[in-house]
Amino acid sequence: MRPDRDPALLPGTPLYVHVPFCVAKCHYCDFYSFAAETGDSSGFVDLLLREASTRAADHPRTVFVGGGTPTWLPAAELRALFDGLEELTGFRSSAEEVSVECNPESLDEAKAELLLELGVNRFSIGFQSLRPELLELFGRVHQVEQSFDAFQAARSAGAEEISVDMIYASPGEKLETWESDLSQVLELEPNHLSAYNLTFEEGTAFEQWRRTGALIPQVEDLELQFFWRTREILEEAGYSPYEISNFSLNGQHCEHNLNYWENGSYSGLGPSAVGKVGHRRMGNPRSYGKWAERIRAGESPIHEWEETLAPLDRLGETWWLGLRTKTGIDPARARAVAAVDVFEDPCERIAKGLLEHGLLVHRDGCWRLSDTGLPLADAVARQFLTPGSGREDSDADRTEGSSSCSTAEN
Ligand code: SF4
């Protein structure tokens, strides 16, 4: 290990890299990303690698390059990024999963071949919708056919694992059209599918339009119908809902994201990225300029904030994250992860209260969301967060140090 690297960063710790550039800003998106022409992308890879030299673990188990739009980077920069990460971490011999988020307008066969050659083995493509009018409403820059072209390009290049991102319950969307769009996507036989209920996030154009009445969200009952039909269609097609918004075929989960939901450690590089090392959590400046400035100045730590979580905060977070998964929460394991004694554990008492309200079930020693609780996952899981844990305002799905998201990211 390099002497200037965080000693708590154990070899194997998963690695997230945030590439903040996009062709244009989507109207629903609150991730830290910006239209490329308004930002200075030159030198990004060099800065990122300088950050990686002190904050990326040796031999990460998983690597996830998200954003933003990583495939927006030109071929030479992608090569420099992955070769540089290999030199610093040796990820090519250690990572069982190397994911890249792709947008349809920037993924062709040549780029897919390049990514495979550079060590990528999982492509996550942001289709979002098969309706031209919704793509326009979203502010997406791609056309429907480009999504299919990008998928085929990845397959033709030899990609074995491809995930597709879709958004449902958009304003004006009909349940029948969503059902037919989903079925059309399934004809491609993606290995994994992320289906997100559209959310209106603070600071986005969508939220502003909602407030002024220019956009009217779907009514709750209809949203529920979208939720359940999505699960039914996907389960019938053999996809397992291993997390609220994530479905895998033949057990092809996203291992990187599972680590987030299990409250494991990870390092996050790039502007706005969040990391968790042991009991500490840290975040980089949500500003490209500030992030770049710190690295150029050789500042350490580069991140803007850091906090050490108290034992009960760690326990609450473990429940909050784990309840999103099909496996649910094993209370003894949660205590072990958080290093909390059984006599100090308030979570099972909270769980029993939620069981009485029909929101959780207790089976085979694990707590899980009931059918009533599933569509209310965020609200139910939030009951386990302790005041002051700093996570009440966060969305469990939205992780910029991570990329697991129920608000669609790409
Ligand atoms: S949704 Fe994805 S492509 Fe759109 S602005 Fe956000 S990060 Fe960029």
Residue 102 CA to ligand 1 centre (angstroms): 10
Domains and CATH numbers, the chain: 15-261 (3.20.20.70), 311-382 (1.10.10)
Residue 263 CA to ligand 1 centre (angstroms): 25
Q: Burial of 343 by CB count in 10 Å (0-12 exposed, 13-18 middle, 19+ buried)?
A: exposed
- pLDDT tens figures, 73-98: 999 999 999 999 999 999 999 999 99
- pLDDT tens figures, 191-208: 999 999 999 999 999 999
Residue nearest to atom 2 of ligand 1 (CA): 410
The model's confidence at residue 1, banded by pLDDT at 50, 70 and 90, is low
The model's confidence at residue 39, banded by pLDDT at 50, 70 and 90, is low
CA angle 51, 83, 147 (to 5 degrees): 95
Probe residue for ligand 1, chosen from 19, 28, 69 as the CB with the greatest number of ligand atoms within 8 Å: 69
**Centroid of chain to Cα 234:** 20
Residue nearest to atom 6 of ligand 1 (CA): 29
Report the DSSP beta bridge partners of residue 363.
366
Residue 167 CA to ligand 1 centre (angstroms): 13
How much is the average pLDDT of 229-258? 97
What number does the ligand 1 atom closest to the CA of 128 have? 1
Q: What is the pLDDT of residue 7?
A: 79
- Contact of 230 with 52, CB cutoff 8 Å: no
Q: Classify 175 as helix, strand or coil.
A: helix
Residues 6+ apart with CB under 8 A from 108: 149, 150, 153
Written in H, E and C, the secondary structure of 327-382 is: CCECHHHHHHHHCCCHHHCCHHHHHHHHHHCCCEEEECCEEEECCCCHHHHHHHHH
Pocket of ligand 1 (CB under 6 A): 22, 25-26, 29, 31, 33, 67-69, 103, 126, 409-410
- pLDDT tens figures, 326-352: 999 999 999 998 899 999 999 999 999
Probe residue for ligand 1, chosen from 28, 32, 33, 204 as the CB with the greatest number of ligand atoms within 8 Å: 33
Residue 210 CA to ligand 1 centre (angstroms): 19
